[in-house]
């Protein structure tokens, strides 16, 4: 079946304003953060093939055009035109943008700062309604420069989060990158938070850190204290908006065995009485575990973003695993696009192609009716997100 | 190939005597124990679709009939007729019924107690030979009311288990729900058992517990002491009948990371000299781990029940994963049906359809002969269970 | 597509010189180390079917011939002719043989010792270039008989490894079988190594051990001290040749939950600055985890050996999972054949068939061009290994 309805991209990021060269393009494509060894190209992957397949025609090239020719065409069109074409072709009704990456400086009032597109530019290119998802850890990291002291930290965070999320449709946790889920995730006490804030703020404001900052060494403000990570997560829950939680693969900054979403069970149970929905992002290779969580916890949802793009031609097989236990009313499409506008186009094309083919297969073998298939396509591609994020 | 031989249902439960309404039906269908949120239906799942596909025709409706119409027809036929049709159509030669669920009160002499069908009613509806599988934890829980004291607990348990299993073909452990497998599973000493029994019995017979019981608060007798759980498990091993062990998914009462059957390796090695077979139930999403265990431990078997029903249209793909390493002589069919007679019909239909299609595919691509395919169908569908459970 | 290029078998072992009877053949086929129970045959598995499918024609029988007839034909041809045919038909350009199994005694100067084929005989039968991979633990175990004392152990090991690897193309770690990866894998200090060597050597040279050895009880020299295991692993890294690491399934001597290659992340990061490549062998059922590691760590490679043979008709599905995230330049073919020459023939045939079919499918559905498919076939089947092992 043709799955051509306008989609809600329920988790994505901004894109770079410049034209990357081949080396940079290959790194922006995947999750590696340093060059491949001699003889290996990151673009020789299912994701790289998917870019050549789906994006080349949008730039007037044949599907499958080689990467050098693709990048030459990209260069000749210029990054603005490339971005406009790739985002414009995607057919997205909404972009729910995690502003904690790329556009951080411009979050309060998005501009073209830092070499990334503003939310306004994203909106213009995609003709979509752009809404914000606020990264919980970033709000804490931005507090450091405000001079807040430890005793006031908790209150200041709650206020900062309220201000930051005034227009937001959701919040996001990257605990997966800072600690993983093999940790007590209960709500910390006020005293614990104050104590932890003191330790964290002191370390950032030590003479050494100040000297580094003064020397332009780019002080690394990174929330990694486990008590504070739990604290901001629970502030997110209290805020009442859906909480997107990074689970499963990503870049090497996480430990894969510790980001299995099933490790979140005690947390999911603790959250349940609040009624706040939890959205498990990505999940791979734990998509089956995630499907089970969505089947047994009413407030748990699963977002297929990142995974569907990265596994390219395998998207149909992997999407099928997401569907094994999860009710269709709990599954959400997203691209998790970041840096390259190609990742918007690929995420969308791969989902339309693969989920469409999956539903068709099931329909033709008698597992569902045409009406069911259409309904599930609408749910996963759009309606679930509209309902969950109140779009 | 048509896989139409009579099947042995090697692990199943009784069904409810009444007609559930839509909300109750949706909950009985899957593993959730509380309602889905607004806008989500548990029946919009591969399992829900499988019910509409396979059961509707048995109730004279078109395959895929919507759930409301299906339930209306169900209501008009009445629960007895529905149960007779769904169980009767299944083509089962044997039902090995775990009596620890639903029919607990009626175990010694099954009646229509508690709103569940008796074993006799199950037998009449299915025209199958109904045999019992005794839940190890339930035998201990029933001992509490006998007034046994801690010093006599071990001996009393052994005698109660012997009495309870006089006619049984197997025993079953739900350690997965009480503790999981990340635990020392060696046989406890007599002193350890007595000490643990004292603690457990005292807690159940405390003035508070007695007051609760007197107030009709339904004292929860739940064996969850880890020493006693190990003890009853080893009594099950000593009994010599096959020990069915719940592994993998189920309801949210278990922690999914702790029920990976591969965590049982030390236990499987300790059991091996006794010769008692261990049957790993369900296994999902650890079916590949289970297949490896069956390939390297002579006394380990794998039962595909629950999984094959719940993943619906994905049953062929998931069954294929079970087969990757496990010898065909180690795989067992079951439905794990419980509460809804639909789960008998779906489990059987899904298995016949999916395993038949899998064997056909392999035969047509040259991976096995027609004779091999027929032999494996007989083994997994019937012969392995007949041999293992001495039917 | 026909994937008929000469392949590099990047990880394999020697084969037995004699004709096994049926019971021995069944055990040599798989990973079980003791007989199957009554009514079960290990040959009734996807691997057993693959042997009958691919090897029977090489012995002039119809594909799928029953095992008894197959073994009778095998017997009549004699083990030398059988080995010559099965290895000769494989079309291998190189065999990278782990000499730590089977041929251990003959490692320094391979002979027909111990009932196994020498490297020279393997080379003659396969018409391939045979190169050695040295097992790190074996080098330490052989040191015991040299009378080295604990203070000199570290230096003696380094020298012994240098001597043993003079002609080798790689080294191999079987830490998976001795401890698994849930362990601190940092480089131990000199003092730690000396202390651990003292403990290990003393235990092996105790009067009890000596008496056992004198009584012909076959003293078990098995390196299992965790400090020494870390030490030899790091000596392997320092040697600079690619380090093959057993991960995932194998025989029951390993604990499956502890051999997930993703548990190696801290080790992989510690190795990275040295530039030494790490090759994750087998990986199943963690092939997706392995693919991610290959995608984010430049020096990490993935070898599909053992897995592709053992899952038989499922090889295409499992290979597809390997490819989901791993760049094609990081994937390596091997058979991991051991004891039975059938495992060479099956590993090769299954790979040519399954990877060829996978690439064809992707090509026909438009996911890659014919040119890409041919390039990936060459890379995975040969070029990656040639580049990595400097063949």
Please give the pLDDT value at position C107.
38
B302 pLDDT exceeds 50? yes
Per-residue confidence band for B220, with pLDDT thresholds at 50, 70 and 90:
confident
Share above pLDDT 90 across residues of chain C, in percent, rounded to a whole number:
90
DSSP codes, C356-388? HHHHHHHHHTTSS-HHHHHHHHHIIIIIHHHHH
Q: How many CB atoms lie within 10 A of CB A217?
A: 10
Predicted pLDDT at C111:
41
C140 touches chain A (CB under 8 A): no
In contact, A331 and A296? CB cutoff 8 Å = no
Nearest by CB to A295, which of B32, B38, B312?
A: B32
Q: Which residues is B246 bridged to in the sheet?
A: B281
Pairwise CB contact (< 8 Å): B298 & C35: yes
Q: Which chain A residue's Cα is nearest to C295?
A: A32
Detail the DSSP E strand segments found in chain A. Answer: 7-12, 92-98, 129-135, 170-173, 243-247, 278-282, 300-303, 331-332
Calpha distance A170→A100 (Å, rounded)? 12
Which residue in chain B is spatially nearest to A257 when comparing CA positions? B257
A301–B contact, CB cutoff 8 A: no
Distance CA C123, CA C294 (A): 31
Model pLDDT for residues B325-358, shown as the tens digit of each residue: 999 999 999 999 999 999 999 999 999 999 999 9
Percentage of chain A exceeding pLDDT 90: 90
Q: Share the mean pLDDT of chain A.
A: 94
* C296/A33 Cβ within 8 A: yes
pLDDT tens, residue by residue, C213-222:
676 655 578 9
CB contact under 8 A, C32 and B295: yes
Residue C17 CB contacts under 8 Å (≥ 6 apart), including other chains: C79, C112, C115, C116, C117
Confidence of residue B114 (pLDDT cuts 50, 70, 90): low
Element (H, E) at C8: strand C7-12
- Contacts with A, C 279-298, CB within 8 Å: 288-289, 292-293, 295-298
Chain C CB within 8 Å of residue A253 CB: no
What are the DSSP calls for B55-94, one per residue?
A: TGGGGTS-TT--HHHHHHHHHHH-HHHHHHHHHHTT-EEE
Among A69, A249, A287, A304, most C C-beta atoms within 10 A, so best to mutate, is: A249
Kindly state the average pLDDT of the residues B77-101: 96
**CB atoms inside a 10 Å sphere around CB B177:** 17
Chain C: residue nearest A313 by CA?
C367
Helix, strand, or coil (residue B39): coil
Judge contact between C368 and A49, C-beta under 8 A: yes
Q: Which of A289, A298, A320 sits opposite B314 (nearest CB)?
A: A320
Q: What is the DSSP letter of C255?
A: -
Residue C143 has pLDDT above 60, yes or no: yes
Residues 6+ apart with CB under 8 A from C195: C150, C227
Query: Which band of pLDDT confidence, cut at 50, 70 and 90, is reported for residue A208?
Result: confident
Contact B44 A298 (CB under 8 A): no
Chain A positions in Cβ-Cβ contact with residue B252 (cut-off 8 Å): 265, 269, 296-297
> How many angstroms away from the CA of C174 is the closest CA of chain B?
18
- Residue whose structure tokens are 């240098």: C162
Within chain A, where are the H helices?
22-29, 46-54, 67-77, 79-88, 119-126, 136-143, 150-164, 175-178, 190-204, 207-214, 226-239, 265-271, 287-296, 307-310, 315-323, 342-364, 370-378, 384-388
Mean pLDDT of C326-339: 98
Count interface pairs A-C at CB distance under 8 A.
96
Residue C324: closest CA among B322, A315, A249, A304:
A315
How close is the nearest chain A Cα to the Cα of C164, in Å?
A: 28
Structure tokens at B225: 């002491």
CA quadruple A373, A375, A379, A381: dihedral positive or negative?
Answer: positive
Provide mean pLDDT across the span A171-196: 96
Hey, which bits of A99-181 come out as E strands? 129-135, 170-173
Please name the member of B31, B39, B40 whose beta carbon is closest to the beta carbon of A296.
B31
Q: What angle do CA C296, C302, C304 make, to 5 degrees?
A: 145
Inter-chain residue contact B42 with A330, CB threshold 8 Å = no
A265 interaction partners in chain B (CB closer than 8 Å) = 252, 255-256
User: Taking CA atoms, what residue in B is nearest to C357?
Assistant: B365
Task: Measure CB to CB from residue A311 to each of C324, C372, C376 and give the nearest one.
Answer: C324
DSSP letter for each residue of C298-326? TTEEEE-TTHHHHTGGGHHHHHHHHHTTS
**Chain segment C265-322, per-residue pLDDT in tens:** 999 999 999 999 999 999 999 999 999 999 999 999 999 999 999 999 999 999 999 9
Chain C touched by B260 (CB under 8 Å): yes
Q: Which residue do the tokens 């278990």 mark?
A: B254
Average pLDDT over residues A245-267: 98
Pick among C46, C310, C361 to test the B interface (most B CBs inside 10 A): C46
**Distance separating alpha carbons of residues A180 and C281, to the nearest angstrom:** 26
Are the beta carbons of C384 and A252 separated by less than 8 Å?
no
Distance of CA C330 to the CA centre of its chain: 17
First to last CA, chain C: 26
Contact C366, A53 (CB under 8 A): yes
Instruction: Return the residue of B nearest to A384 by Cα.
Output: B39
Q: How many CA atoms lie within 13 A of B47 on its CB side?
A: 31
pLDDT at B223 over 80: yes
A50 CB within 8 Å of a chain C CB: yes
Chain C nearest CA to B9, separation (Å): 19
| DSSP code, position B381 | I
Does the pLDDT of residue A106 top 80, yes or no? no
Is the separation of the CB atoms in A243 and A278 below 8 Å? yes
Q: What is the pLDDT of residue C217?
A: 57
Q: Which tokens sit at A184? A: 């007590």
* Coil vs helix vs strand at B32: coil
Residue with tokens 């065409």: A73
Confidence check: pLDDT of B212 > 90: no
Name residues whose C-beta falls within 8 Å of residue A91's C-beta, 6 or more positions apart in sequence.
A4, A6, A7, A348
C310 interaction partners in chain B (CB closer than 8 Å): 324-325
User: In this prediction, what percent of chain A has a pLDDT beyond 70?
Assistant: 94
Q: Mean pLDDT in chain C?
A: 94
pLDDT of residue A104 exceeding 60, the answer is no
C41 touching chain B per CB within 8 A: yes
Provide mean pLDDT across the span C4-30: 96
Q: Which of A200, A188, A198, A193 is nearest to A150 (CA)?
A: A198
Q: What is the pLDDT of residue A235?
A: 98
| Structure confidence at residue B110 (pLDDT) | 36
Quickly tell me which residue has 């090897």 as its tokens. Answer: C55
* Contact by Cβ (8 Å): B47, A323: no
Q: For residue B369, give the nearest of C64, C310, C312 by CB distance.
A: C64
Which pLDDT belongs to residue C184? Answer: 94
Q: Do B295 and C30 touch (CB under 8 A)?
A: yes
With an 8 Å Cβ cutoff, are B265 and C256 in contact? Answer: yes
In tens, the pLDDT along C21-62 reads 999 999 999 999 999 999 999 999 999 999 999 999 999 999
Q: Do A262 and B284 touch (CB under 8 A)?
A: no
> Are the Cβ atoms of B30 and A295 closer than 8 angstroms?
yes
Confidence label for C103 from pLDDT (cuts 50, 70 and 90): low
| Yes or no, beta carbons of C256 and B289 under 8 Å apart | yes
Residues paired with residue B332 on neighbouring β-strands, in sequence order = B303
The more confidently predicted of residues A383 and B219 is A383
Tally the C-alpha atoms within 13 A of residue B238's C-alpha that lie toward its C-beta: 13
- Strand A331-332 with B7-12, pairing: unpaired
Q: Who among C256, C312, C318 is closest to B262 (CB)?
A: C256
Contacts of A among chains (3+ CB pairs under 8 A): B, C
- Contact status of A64 with chain C (Cβ, < 8 Å): yes
pLDDT-based confidence at residue B208 (cuts at 50, 70, 90): confident
CB contact under 8 A, B327 and C44: yes
CB neighbourhood size of C133 (10 A): 26
- What is the per-residue pLDDT for A218? 57
DSSP structure class, residue C1: -
Distance, CA of C116 to CA of C218 (rounded, Å): 19
What was the pLDDT predicted at A1?
82
The pLDDT value recorded for residue B111 is: 41
Comparing C-alpha atoms, which of B384, B50, B313 is closest to residue C44?
Answer: B384
Q: What is the mean pLDDT of residues A92-101?
A: 94
Q: Does the CB of C194 have a partner CB in chain A at under 8 Å?
A: no
Rounded Cα distance between A306 and A279, Å, is 14
User: Which among B260, B327, B387 has CB closest to C45?
Assistant: B327
Q: Is B257 at the interface with chain A, CB within 8 A?
A: yes
B317 to chain C, closest Cα gap in Å? 10
A210 or B236: which leads in pLDDT: B236
CA A207 to chain B, closest CA, distance in angstroms equals 44
Does ipTM come in above 0.90?
A: yes
3-state secondary structure of B171: strand
Nearest-CA distance C191 → chain B (Å): 34
Taking only the tens place, the pLDDT of each residue in B131-183 is: 999 999 999 999 998 989 999 999 999 999 999 999 999 999 999 999 999 99
> Three-class SS of residue B325?
coil
Structure tokens, B234? 């080893």
**How many CB atoms lie under 10 A from the CB of residue C171?**
29
Nearest to B291 by CA among A320, A285, C310, C48: C310
For residue C391, the distance in angstroms to the closest alpha carbon of chain A comes to: 15
- C-alpha–C-alpha distance, residues A264 and A180, integer Å: 10
Residues B21-75: pLDDT tens digits? 999 999 999 999 999 999 999 999 999 999 999 999 999 999 999 999 999 999 9
Q: What pairing do the DSSP bridges indicate for beta strands A243-247 and B331-332?
A: unpaired
């Amino acid at each position: 079946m043709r799955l051509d309805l306008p989609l809600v991209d329920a988790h994505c990021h901004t894109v770079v304003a410049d034209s990357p060269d081949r080396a940079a393009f290959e790194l922006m494509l995947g999750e590696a953060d340093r060059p491949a060894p001699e003889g290996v190209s990151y673009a020789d992957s299912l994701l790289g093939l998917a870019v050549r397949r789906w994006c080349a025609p949008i730039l007037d090239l044949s599907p499958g055009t080689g990467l050098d020719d693709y990048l030459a065409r990209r260069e000749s069109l210029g990054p603005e035109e490339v971005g406009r074409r790739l985002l414009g072709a995607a057919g997205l009704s909404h972009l729910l943008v995690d502003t904690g990456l790329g556009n951080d400086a411009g979050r309060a009032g998005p501009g073209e700062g830092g070499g990334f597109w503003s939310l306004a530019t994203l909106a213009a290119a995609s003709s979509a309604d752009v809404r914000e998802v606020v990264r919980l850890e970033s709000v804490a990291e931005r507090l450091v420069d405000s001079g807040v002291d430890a005793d006031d930290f908790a209150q200041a965070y709650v206020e900062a989060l309220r201000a930051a999320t005034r227009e937001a449709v959701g919040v996001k946790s990257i605990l997966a990158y800072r600690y993983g889920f093999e940790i007590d995730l209960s709500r910390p006490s006020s005293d614990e938070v104050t104590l932890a804030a003191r330790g964290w703020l002191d370390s950032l404001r030590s003479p050494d850190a100040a000297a580094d900052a003064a020397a332009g060494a780019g002080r690394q403000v990174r929330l990694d204290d486990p008590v504070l990570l739990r604290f901001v997560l629970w502030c997110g829950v209290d805020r009442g908006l859906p909480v997107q939680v990074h689970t499963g693969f990503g870049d090497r900054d996480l430990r894969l065995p510790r980001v299995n979403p099933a490790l979140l069970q005690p947390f999911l149970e603790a959250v349940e009485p609040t009624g706040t929905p939890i959205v498990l992002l990505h999940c791979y290779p734990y998509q089956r575990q995630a499907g089970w969580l969505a089947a047994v916890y009413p407030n748990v949802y699963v977002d297929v973003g990142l995974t569907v793009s990265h596994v390219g031609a395998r998207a149909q097989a992997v999407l099928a695993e997401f569907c094994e236990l999860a009710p269709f009313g709990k599954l959400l499409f997203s691209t998790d696009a970041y840096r390259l506008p190609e990742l918007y186009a690929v995420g969308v094309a791969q989902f339309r192609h693969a989920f469409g083919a999956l539903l068709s297969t099931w329909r033709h073998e008698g597992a569902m009716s045409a009406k069911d298939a259409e309904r599930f396509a609408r749910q996963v591609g759009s309606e679930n997100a509209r309902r969950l994020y109140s779009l």
